[in-house]
Each structure stands twice: as structure tokens, then as C-alpha cells.
Structure 1
Amino acid sequence: MAGVGASILRGLRHSAVGRSILAALGAFYIWLVLRTTRWQVEGAEHLDALLRRGGGFIPCLWHGRLFMSPTWAPPGRRTVAMISNNADGDLIAGVVGWFGVHTVRGSTYDKQKHRDKGGRAAYDGAAVELTGADAVVAITPDGPRGPRMHAQTGAAMLAIETGVPILPVAFSTRRGVVLKSWDRFLVPFPFGRGALVYGPPLDPPPASLEAIEQFRQSIEAQTTSVMNRADDLMERERVPAAVPRRVPSDPGAGQPGAGG
């Protein structure tokens, strides 16, 4: 029976109608978790300060903690997610759409490897949203394929180019399952306790290759810090970053990459 269920699920994922059905079911489950969980929010003053300041900003979270992110859209603000341009991205776009979240589509842009799966277009679209619409553009800096909890340069470059701050954010729950995926994706269960943690905003420095790398490291450290804090509040085991990681050393590595 399990094999039959998996086959049906694969079939649904690969058809437009099937993805619409799965998106509606996924959105309902997220709503159920949201409404039945007793949430402890820490650092809300950081979000409030950015909303009072006006202008766009970039919430950054690790890919493994995407599940509840559609529910964090600030009321009255245009919220946009950068999502991979593939079938799974179509499904995710359908889910977040139920919560009023818009999307820009594209995978990681890597000029050094002559690879661009829509990432340049997604990066440019996000920049327009941030500067032209004062939007909130959420990014997973380790997406779409990792390494887990290692930030690519895209978020740092986007913030520096547009002059908008980064807002580290993460959630955790007492009840849930951590999948054995590359990102150790947390699927929360309803009717439990949860934590949502915001970190202090990170204002972008003046542009330079050295500043991009230092800012990338700050984003990585602070995004991990808020996730660790959320897990500690829920007495959940911390998720380690993937190792090893190759750190590019030549200037061509400082290219934009969109989280998926």
C-alpha cells in the first residue's frame, strides 16, 4: 500500500492539476499547525523596527525551516519568495500563494561555473521588488540544494546592491519530524508548542569583494544563531551545518545566487 501511495503522490506532483490539489492540502496543513500551536515569539521588536522604518527588507532562513514561512508575511506588506524554477518550485509557489505570498522564480546563478537556471532573472526580479515596491523578499541562502546552513553570496549581494537590511528568522516546534533530506527539513505536527525567533537586522556594508564575503559570513552566523535559539527553546536537538564546504577564493565567486 505504501508503494501505491508513493506512486499516486509522484503522479500528482507531475501534473498541474495534481500540484494544485497538493498545494491546497499543504496550505491547509500549514494553517492547521499555525492555528493549533502555542507560539512563543522572541525578537519581535526587530521585525517591528523594520516595519516602522519602512522600505524593503530580506528575511533570511535556512532551507530546512521553510515549512511555516508563508505564515510570516507582515500584514499590509507585499511579501515575495524566491523559489526554484522547477516542478517542486511550482508546488511550493502554489502553497505560498494561499497565504498571499508572491514569487520570483529561478535557481542558483553561478557565473563562475557558467550556469544560470533562471537565477539571474530571479535576482533581478527580487531587486526590483525591494527597491520599487518596498517588498519583503524572503530568501533561503543555502537553497535550493545546499550545502546545508552555508550561505551562498546571493543574499549578501542583493542586500548590498539594494541597500536593504537582512532579517534572520527561524522557527522550531516541540513536536515534529526532521526528514533525512540534505537540509534536515523540519515538518511540525499540530497541537503542540512552537518558537519563532527573529534576530537583529543586519544592515549591508558599502560594496566591495571583501565586504560581500564578510557580510555573507555574518548572514550565515546569525541565521544559524536564531535557528539554534528556536531549537533550544523547544528542547530540540540542534541541526549541524553540512561539512566539508569548499570556500571559493577567486573574485569570480562573488556572484548572485537565489535561494530556492
Structure 2
Amino acid sequence: MKYFFKLKILPYVLYLIVKFIYLTNRKEFHHPKLKDGEALIFVTWHDDLICQPLNYYKNRPNGKIKTLISQSKDGEILSKIYNLFGGETIRGSSSKGATKALISTIREIKAGSDIALTPDGPRGPRHTVADGVIAIAQKSAARIVVLNSKPSSYWQFNSWDKFILPKPFGKIDFYMSEPFNINDLEFEEARNFIKDKMMLNAIL
């Protein structure tokens, strides 16, 4: 019964909660003009991932995006939520199914799909950039776009990522960076460069 609730009922409940939060908040979008037809890598911190499908589709209403999500049970729940928003998922992470996920992700970019991932997921440490996003970006030559959101009021959970859930009836600022590439950077230079970009509008 518990398994049925978590995988069959909970994703729909969480989806409706996110939609309610989105609809009851004033919204301001800080978005660049993105080039049509260019497959991009969208990154966000794990604590800020819940509203990012709405952020993405505001700029790319007809976009095709696939999110890299871990193979854990929590990942299964998140995968179903993202499917409800219209996205697809690639299952894998830095700790399980990494090689298969890396190959699948690069293949999807080459086929023209946008990719979304959390560089500090699925288990942290919080606000660190794992090797996967660097490898994917450099092997695919795709540019990276950072997604952030800043609610005027929110709940912050006592989890490893200090997960953020915006409160209703406030305001949310949605941010999307200009696309950038890391093709000419050494691995550690790329890691620091990505983190600096991601921290510009992050909630600490």
C-alpha cells in the first residue's frame, strides 16, 4: 500500500501542489533569447528543482527536454512528476548507471533534445558540481544554461540539499542565464566556472 501511494498517488499530489504554488504567485521571468534548434544543457541545484519545468517551458513552450534523474525510488517519483509537466527522463546518476546515462544523454543532445540535470544530485554535497555535467558538456560540445528561482517566501526543509518549496501568494523571480560553453576549459576550471554561474541567483 505504501509503495502504491508513493509511486502512483504522490506524484500527482506533488504536481498539483507545484501548479497551485505557481498559479498563486506573481511571477517575473529574467530570460535571454535562446536560439531555436540548438540543443542545450539546463542545470539547476537540487534544492531548486521543483519549479524548473515551469521556468523552462515559459521560454521554450514547445521545447523537447529530457531530465537526468537517479534510479532511486525518490528518483522514480520525481520522474513521474516531470512526465506530468511534459518532459521525459533519462534514468541514471553519478553513483548508479553512470556510464549508460552519460552515453544516453550525449546521444539525446546530438539528436536535438535539451537536457536537464542537477550537478549536485542525487546525494550532494550541496552546491557542488559533479563530473557528469562537465563530461557531458565537453563531449557533446553543447552550451549550458543555468536555471534558478527565488521565491519571496518559502519553506526550507532539513534535508541534505535544504530543499526549497515556495509558499503560495507571494512572488517568484525565475532566472535563466545566457548560454555558455566550457569546451576550452580544463576540468577543474570548468567546475569552478559552472559553480560561479549557478551561485549568482542561488538561495544559500
How high is the TM-score relative to the length of structure 2? 0.92
Could you tell me which of 120, 125, 137 is aligned with 1:159?
Answer: 137
Residue aligned with 1:82, SS: strand
Q: Which residue matches 2:182?
A: 204
Shift of 1:18: 3.8
Which residue of structure 1 lines up, in the alignment, with residue 173 of structure 2? Answer: 195
User: Residues 150 and 201 of structure 2 are in contact (CA less than 8 Å); yes or no, is this contact kept in structure 1?
Assistant: no
TM-score by length of 1: 0.73
Paired positions, count: 201
Pairs within 5 Å for 1:95-244: 95-109=81-95, 117-132=96-111, 134-206=112-184, 211-227=186-202, 238-239=203-204
State the distance in 1 between where 2:144 and 2:25 align. Answer: 27
Question: Equivalent pairs: percent with the same residue?
Answer: 25
Runs of 4+ in 1 over 6 A off after TM superposition: none
Contact 1:55-1:130 at 8 Å conserved across structures: no
**Secondary structure in structure 2 of the residue aligned to 1:168:** strand
Contact kept in structure 2, 1:176 and 1:189, CA below 8 Å: yes
1:75-108 CA-to-partner distances (Å, cap 9, x unmatched) read 2221111101011111111111111110000121
Cα offset, 1:16, TM superposition: 4.1
Aligned to 2:11: 23
**Structure 1 residue 204, shift from structure 2 partner:** 2.7
Secondary structure of 2:145's partner?
strand
Contact 1:61–1:168 (Cα < 8 Å) also in 2: yes
1:84 pairs with 2:84? no
Q: How much has 1:139 moved relative to structure 2?
A: 1.0
Larger radius of gyration between Structure 1 and Structure 2: 1
Q: Aligned with 1:22: secondary structure?
A: helix
Q: What is the SS of the residue equivalent to 2:8?
A: helix
Q: What is the CA distance between 1:122 and its match in structure 2?
A: 1.3
Query: Within 2, Cα distance between the matches of 1:86 and 1:144?
Result: 9
Q: Secondary structure at the match of 1:81?
A: strand
Supply the distance in 2 between the matched residues of 1:172 and 1:16 (Cα, whole angstroms): 33
Query: What's the RMSD between the two structures over aligned residues?
Result: 1.5
Give me the whole-angstrom Cα distance separating, in 2, the residues matched to 1:189 and 1:199: 24
SS in 1 for 2:201: helix
Higher helix share: 1
Structure 2 residue ranges without an equivalent (≥5): none
Task: Tell me the amino acid that sits aligned with residue 211 of structure 1.
Answer: E
Q: Given residue 103 of structure 1, which amino acid in structure 2 is its aligned partner?
A: T
2:40 is the counterpart of 1:57: yes
Residue 91 of structure 1 aligns to which amino acid in structure 2?
I
